[in-house]
């Protein structure tokens, strides 16, 4: 019997309020801190700021149960806003679940974005060290694997160029190459490959199959059903924050097609060619 | 290795310790990126205090005739500017750190406290470079650094601690209320005037002086300067008082940071 790598029990995530309302201004907050009664009596209905904690919020994930066996590649399907990224963030410890819990056996590394962690002013070489360290690679591992990472990303000629001159496809190639060499037990990959070209996507797919053969557990989010079909034995379909389907990939895909809000006629695999709007490098931490 | 992720699993000291190498990574990144695409590079770390020294000497010495105890005014003000500029920049940088790293923090797992800590520490190399150049200036003015210079070290530690304490309060507040990023530069400017950088403490009337040293950075700047210029001994009681207040505020800062991290983890 296979070991279970991830055992998620009743995971739920609630964001306190809609993001734009979340940042109430200082005045309102101070007023609430110093004169709670005054404020409450001034607005008997109870405005947002006078309601007791916890505030009403929006559940982006609720009652999520699933298991991932060690060494499995699990596909996660779902429309935009269904909670896929939130789920990966929880598993990567970037945010905490509001309820429920997940048991994780093994080290988790996550690539949730093609550019997060990179610094635009630094060269490709420096950024390999930077992102690899952020993702948990030690310096000696990094030195050992540097050549392989650069070779895999096919960026030898431009590795000493500042990252700001890279195309978003090049950034993604570098980021994925680092993630694929992390030597971890559980790897979470969010939709990051969309900006890379077809050849690189194919190569990444083969790399993930190789990682799988070495026993890595991979959670893979993609809108590209072709990849999910090729890569994953099992898949879960998230819909409105819940696991709507969990099982073998072909059935999961059929189910996803049936609920997806895409027009039935639209070929989902066309999404690949549209690329994505992920910025290559985040707002550089300007100093 | 089994990890359980729950609501209460906030980041504690153990996480910080496990990821302490990231402090080095962040500082390294900031240093690498800081003077990229500049003509003068790390010269800026020297030029900032030196140019400020020149202007202050003109304004406060020539025009305002402010005394400078027993060293020449340029040395006096330079030895006050070095710790002050480090402190001011460390506070500004760490206060903004969570906000400027929000893109990273929502996509890569990093114990958050690493971010303000490394923001404070990334000012140290600049201070080191500036200190080296200042020794040259001091020699030029006939002030020969003696072994007493080492007394600057405890003050340096206190300064780091204090800047971090302020940053630990400001950075989560800034994540929640962007007002803080407007408030901080203003606050630092005012803070400068109640700190003995451009003028000696002896100028402060005797009856106000105990109030004056409520400002925790005041004795630190003064002590740092005395150590560098070798002018006059520093009352140990003042160092101890400073150490106590810095450790207290540091502890409070860490507790506040931890508390707000749990509460506002998703607000950056």
- A141-152 pLDDT, tens per residue? 999 999 999 999
Mutation target to probe the B interface, by most B beta carbons within 10 A, among A21, A118, A134 is A134
Predicted local distance difference test score (pLDDT) of residue A52? 44
Band the pLDDT of B238: cuts 50, 70, 90: confident
Contacts of A257 (CB under 8 A, 6+ apart): A225, A264, A268
- Chain B residues with CB under 8 Å of A62 CB are none
The shortest CB-CB distance from A285 to any of B3, B100, B107 is to: B100
CA distance B142 to B154: 25
Predicted local distance difference test score (pLDDT) of residue B8? 61
Predicted local distance difference test score (pLDDT) of residue B85? 95
pLDDT tens by residue, B9-53: 555 778 888 889 999 999 999 998 888 878 888 888 899 999 999
- Chain B residues with CB under 8 Å of A29 CB are 177
Predicted local distance difference test score (pLDDT) of residue A59? 87
Predicted local distance difference test score (pLDDT) of residue B37? 79
CA distance A49 to B199: 46
pTM over cut 0.90: no
Cβ contact (<8 Å) for B103 and A122?
A: no
Predicted local distance difference test score (pLDDT) of residue A44? 42
Mutation target to probe the B interface, by most B beta carbons within 10 A, among A31, A66, A96, A191 is A96
Band the pLDDT of A36: cuts 50, 70, 90: low
pLDDT of residue A280 exceeding 70, the answer is no
Cβ contact (<8 Å) for B266 and A101?
A: no
The shortest CB-CB distance from B29 to any of A26, A130, A135 is to: A130
Which residues of B touch chain A, with CB atoms under 8 Å apart? Answer: 1-10, 21-22, 25, 29-30, 32-34, 36-37, 93, 100-101, 103-110, 176-179, 265-267
pLDDT tens by residue, A102-136: 999 999 999 998 888 899 999 999 999 999 999 98
CA distance A284 to B30: 11
Nearest to B247 by CA among B170, B161, B164, B168: B161
Q: What ipTM did this prediction achieve?
A: 0.85
Predicted local distance difference test score (pLDDT) of residue B248? 95
pLDDT tens by residue, B76-96: 999 999 999 999 999 999 999
Give mean pLDDT, residues A76-95. Answer: 89
Predicted local distance difference test score (pLDDT) of residue B204? 84
Mutation target to probe the A interface, by most A beta carbons within 10 A, among B89, B104, B114, B179 is B104
Predicted local distance difference test score (pLDDT) of residue B80? 93
Per the CB < 8 A criterion, the answer to whether A64 and A82 are in contact is: no
Closest CA in chain B for residue A100:
B6
Give mean pLDDT, residues A153-180. Answer: 93
**Residue B197, token pair as written in the block:** 């950088």
Per the CB < 8 A criterion, the answer to whether B127 and B86 are in contact is: yes
Give mean pLDDT, residues B108-124. Answer: 94
Band the pLDDT of A50: cuts 50, 70, 90: very low
- Chain B residues with CB under 8 Å of A165 CB are none
3-state secondary structure of B122: coil
More confident residue, A275 or A112: A112
Maximum mean pLDDT: which of A56-65, A181-190, B34-43: A181-190
Give mean pLDDT, residues A51-56. Answer: 50
Nearest to A230 by CA among A259, A196, A204: A204
Average pLDDT, chain B: 88
Mutation target to probe the A interface, by most A beta carbons within 10 A, among B4, B6, B12 is B6
Average pLDDT, chain A: 81
pLDDT of residue A22 exceeding 70, the answer is no
pLDDT of residue B118 exceeding 80, the answer is yes
Closest CA in chain B for residue A286:
B100
**Residue A208, token pair as written in the block:** 């993930």
Give mean pLDDT, residues A1-29. Answer: 71
Torsion of CA B162, B168, B171, B172, to 10 degrees: -160
Band the pLDDT of A91: cuts 50, 70, 90: very high
Closest CA in chain B for residue A101:
B6
**CA of B171 vs chain A CAs: smallest distance (Å):** 14
């Amino acid at each position: 019997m296979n070991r279970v790598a991830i055992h998620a029990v009743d995971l739920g995530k609630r964001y306190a309020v809609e993001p734009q309302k979340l940042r109430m201004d200082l005045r309102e907050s101070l007023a609430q801190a110093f004169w709670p009664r005054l404020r409450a009596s001034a607005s008997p209905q109870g405005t947002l700021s006078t309601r007791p904690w916890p505030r009403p919020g929006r559940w982006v994930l609720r009652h999520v149960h699933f298991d991932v066996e060690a060494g499995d590649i699990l596909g996660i399907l779902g429309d935009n806003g269904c909670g896929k990224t939130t789920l990966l963030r929880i598993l990567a410890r970037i945010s905490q679940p509001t309820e429920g819990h997940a048991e994780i056996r093994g080290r988790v590394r996550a690539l949730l974005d093609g550019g997060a962690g990179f610094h635009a002013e630094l060269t490709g070489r420096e950024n390999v060290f930077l992102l690899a360290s952020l993702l948990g690679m030690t310096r000696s591992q990094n030195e050992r694997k540097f050549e392989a990472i650069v070779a895999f990303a096919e960026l030898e000629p431009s590795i000493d160029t500042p990252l700001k001159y890279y195309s978003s496809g090049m950034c993604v190639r570098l980021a994925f190459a680092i993630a694929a060499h992390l030597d971890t037990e559980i790897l979470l990959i969010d939709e990051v490959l969309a900006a890379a070209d077809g050849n690189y996507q194919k190569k990444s797919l083969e790399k993930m199959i190789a990682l799988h053969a070495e026993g890595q557990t991979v959670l893979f989010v993609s809108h590209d059903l072709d990849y999910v079909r090729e890569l994953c034995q099992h898949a879960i379909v998230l819909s409105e924050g819940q696991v709507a389907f969990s099982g073998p990939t072909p059935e999961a895909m059929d189910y996803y097609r049936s609920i997806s809000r895409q027009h039935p006629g639209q070929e989902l695999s066309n999404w690949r060619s549209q690329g994505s709007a992920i910025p290559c490098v985040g707002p550089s931490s300007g100093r | 290795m089994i990890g359980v992720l729950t609501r209460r699993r906030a980041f504690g000291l153990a996480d910080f310790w496990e990821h302490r190498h990231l402090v080095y990574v962040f500082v390294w990144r900031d240093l690498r990126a800081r003077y990229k695409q500049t003509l003068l590079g790390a010269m800026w770390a020297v030029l900032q205090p030196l140019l400020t020294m020149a202007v202050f000497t003109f304004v406060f010495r020539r025009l305002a005739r402010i005394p400078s105890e027993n060293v020449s005014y340029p040395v006096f003000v330079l030895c006050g500017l070095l710790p002050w500029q480090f402190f001011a920049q460390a506070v500004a940088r760490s206060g903004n750190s969570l906000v400027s790293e929000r893109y990273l923090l929502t996509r890569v797992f990093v114990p958050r406290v690493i971010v303000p800590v490394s923001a404070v520490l990334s000012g140290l190399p600049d201070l080191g470079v500036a200190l080296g150049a200042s020794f040259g200036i001091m020699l030029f003015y006939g002030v020969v650094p003696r072994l007493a210079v080492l007394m600057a070290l405890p003050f340096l530690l206190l300064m780091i601690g204090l800047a971090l304490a302020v940053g630990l309060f400001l950075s989560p507040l800034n994540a929640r209320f962007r007002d803080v990023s407007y408030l901080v530069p203003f606050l630092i400017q005012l803070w400068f005037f109640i700190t003995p950088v451009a003028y000696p403490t002896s100028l402060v009337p005797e009856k106000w002086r105990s109030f004056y040293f409520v400002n925790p950075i005041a004795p630190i700047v003064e002590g740092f300067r005395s150590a560098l210029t070798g002018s006059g001994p520093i009352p140990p009681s003042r160092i101890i008082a400073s150490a106590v207040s810095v450790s207290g505020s540091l502890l409070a800062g860490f507790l506040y940071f931890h508390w707000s991290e749990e509460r506002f983890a998703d607000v950056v």
